[in-house]
Amino acid sequence: MSANLSSLNQAFILKYVAVSGNSLLLHDYLITFSSEVEYMWKAPWTFVKAGFLLNRYGNLVGQTVITLQQIGVFGPGSQEFCNAFCLYYTLFMFFSSESVRLVVTMRAWAIWGCTYHATVWLFSLYTLYLVTVFGFACYFWRHSGAFPPIDGVCLARIAPFAWPLWAMTMVIDSIVLMLVCHRLRKSFTGFRSNSTSPLIRLLVRDAISFYAASMFNNGFSIICWTIFRQDPRAFLQLVFSFPILSIAGQRLVLNLRGMRARPCTSSFVSRMVDQQLAGMDDEWWHPVDVVSPGAGTTDLAMELTERPAR
């Protein structure tokens, strides 16, 4: 009796946290909707725009479906329903985290000037990471299964030793952050220069903000998948820290797009913003020609590569 009561209390906690996480995601969507319309809807279709919208609305719909199931709007009619819904859990976790991480990796590639070597290194790193994540996902699904419904909530058993997935993600995110900071320090010759400080602050701030959100998500996931592995609280990370990660990734794109719309007193800042946006608009490693106010036409990718560090 006490065990059943404990499980009910844990499922009750999960329901409230799920509502909180989904409310946070919805709140951020509402307050940034005008920016999305201005900077994304009016822009031409590119890989980044498609990825941003897929992540934004995919996470919003996916988290809402999970929340509605957990608060009992639609419930399990059978054990088979819970088995299918746990497969949905697994696929959604993969989509939610990797769709935003792909955009962040592309941003790092743009900061590195869209060069061929940057493309090869980042593509190889991310491909190796994706293969490993897919292997963990297969292991997770093979060694897990659905609990019997608890208070109308479908939950999956967490496979033992699945938590190293999040430790590996920590390593990948740390490598990307170090690459970004190294390139910024090497390419932009004055972090304290008035001409570069607005863009430098934006790039550094957003890189660190996303890294902090990712570390929180990874660390919280490790805690949930070890300490709470056999009870409903194992999925607290999916309904709470995943929305935070999604918000951080979406803000990264919107902030950069918004930087272009602000008046730039320095042609260098304007050209650097154009470089970022051109790189994120899927120009691959070809030289990027952009036009900035008073600066004429410039090959920014080559300029970033050849600009000496002081």
Per residue of the chain (310 residues), what is the pLDDT tens digit? 344 667 778 888 888 999 999 999 999 999 999 999 988 888 888 777 888 888 899 999 999 999 998 887 877 667 788 888 888 888 888 888 888 888 888 888 877 777 788 888 888 888 888 888 878 777 776 766 677 777 778 877 777 777 888 888 999 899 989 988 888 777 665 445 554 567 777 888 889 999 999 999 999 999 998 888 878 888 888 899 999 999 998 998 888 877 655 554 444 444 554 555 555 554 433 433 333 333 332 333 333 333 333 3
Distance CA 56, CA 50 (A): 10
**Whole-structure pTM over 0.85, yes or no?**
no
Q: What angle do CA 188, 191, 195 make, to 5 degrees?
A: 75
Show Cβ contacts of residue 95 under 8 Å, excluding neighbours closer than 6 positions.
58, 62
Q: Which residues pair with 289 in a beta bridge?
A: 299
> Which residue type sits at 67?
T
**63-92: burial string, b at 16+ Cβ within 10 Å, e else:** bebbbebbbeeebbeeeebbeebbeebeeb
Question: Residue 162 has what pLDDT?
Answer: 76
Instruction: Give, for 235, the enclosing helix (H) or strand (E).
Output: none
Characterize the bridge pairing of strands 289-292 and 296-299. antiparallel
For residue 287, the model assigns a pLDDT of: 37
What's the Cα-to-Cα distance from 136 to each of 130, 204, 223, 280, rounded to whole Å? 10, 31, 17, 29
Cα separation, 244 vs 303, whole angstroms: 36
